C-alpha cells in the first residue's frame, strides 16, 4: 500500500503512514510526493507511522536512496512508530543508515511517545 503523507502545519510535522506490505514502489511514490512539498514545510519534523505495516519488502538500493535523498531524509528529527518484530528489523537497518548521516532518529511503540520526543526539540 502506498505511504500516505499529511502535513500538520500547526505543529510543523510531516506525517507519513503506511499499512500492509511496504515496497520499493511505495518508497519511490513517497519520495515523489515529498519533492512536491513546499520547501519550508520540508524542514518540518517527521513522524513515520508503520504500526500497521505487516512486512517490509524494500531493497537495499531503495533504502540507501531514501537515506541519501535530502527531501525524504533531511536534517530534521525523525520518529518512527513501529513495534512489530518482522518490520522492526528493517526499520533498524534504516535507523543505522540514517545515523551515519548524523540525523536524529528514533523508534517508538506509540504515537504519544513519538510526538513527545519530537516536541522535546522545540
41-50 confidence digits (pLDDT tens): 999 999 999 9
Class of domain 4-120: alpha beta
Contact 51/88 with Cβ under 8 angstroms? no
CA dist 114 and 112 (Å) reads 5
Reported pTM = 0.93
| Confidence at residue 1, expressed as pLDDT on a 0 to 100 scale | 61
Amino acid at each position: 500500500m502506498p505511504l500516505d503523507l499529511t502535513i500538520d502545519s500547526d505543529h510543523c510535522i510531516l506525517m507519513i503512514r503506511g499499512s500492509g506490505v511496504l515496497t520499493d514502489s511505495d518508497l519511490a511514490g513517497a519520495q515523489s510526493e515529498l519533492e512536491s512539498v513546499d520547501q519550508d514545510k520540508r524542514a518540518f519534523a517527521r513522524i513515520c507511522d508503520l504500526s500497521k505495516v505487516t512486512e517490509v519488502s524494500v531493497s537495499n538500493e531503495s533504502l540507501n536512496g531514501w537515506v541519501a535523498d535530502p527531501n525524504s531524509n533531511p536534517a530534521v528529527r525523525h520518529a518512527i512508530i513501529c513495534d512489530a518484530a518482522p518490520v522492526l528489523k528493517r526499520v533498524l537497518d534504516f535507523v543505522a543508515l540514517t545515523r551515519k548521516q548524523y540525523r536524529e532518529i528514533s523508534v517508538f511503540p506509540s504515537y504519544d511517545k513519538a510526538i513527545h520526543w519530537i516536541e522535546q526539540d522545540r
